[in-house]
Amino acid sequence: MQINEILTLERTLFGVPGGSKKRVLEYFSKFIAQKDPNIDAEEVFSRLIARERLGSTGIGDGIALPHCRISNCTEAVGTFIRLKDKIDFDAIDGQPVDLIFLLLVPEEANEAHLQTLALLAERFSDENLRKELRKTDQVEQLYQLICTPSSV
């Protein structure tokens, strides 16, 4: 699977106010439910919060990969958010987060879910990519940077 199969330009967001982990997850839940009438914002939010209780999805270097399985989700759906200000996300390295890739997958998509998370973790482990994502203020460029491994 390629990132451009789960992320669209419309779901690439820049300058989103952070505030707190809970507020960002709530913002995303409402945002994604507005884009897909089959997805319930409350279900997304509660499942993301439940997943965070198992352990933070803040993977370090200012990156978080919140994810969960959702009913009525027919395919993996990703949203990238570059926050206006960094927030505490209980990341494994203790650093605040400003780059967030949220992932929803169908409830039965166990293997695909894990493969997609591995792909995202590998992609965001690229220090040059993280630097470029933080430098640009163009949504189109953010999208291209994330989706095109050779672009950085």
pLDDT tens by residue, 56-108: 999 999 999 999 999 888 889 999 999 999 999 999 999 999 999 999 999 88
pLDDT at residue 12 above 90? yes
What SS3 state is found at 137? coil
Of 8, 31, 28, residue with least CA distance to 144: 8
pLDDT at residue 35 above 60? yes
Domain ranges, ordered by start, for the chain: 3-151
Q: Which residue has the higher pLDDT, 23 or 1?
A: 23
Question: Which pair of tokens denotes residue 116?
Answer: 């997609």
CB-CB neighbours of 105 under 10 Å: 22
Q: Which residue has the higher pLDDT, 146 or 152?
A: 146
pLDDT tens by residue, 111-131: 777 888 999 999 999 999 999
The band of 150, judged by pLDDT with boundaries at 50, 70 and 90, is low
Active site residue ranges: 67
Residue with tokens 């330009």: 9
Average pLDDT over residues 36-51: 94
In this prediction, residue 109 carries a pLDDT of: 72
Q: Indicate the CATH number for domain 3-151.
A: 3.40.930.10
In this prediction, residue 151 carries a pLDDT of: 41
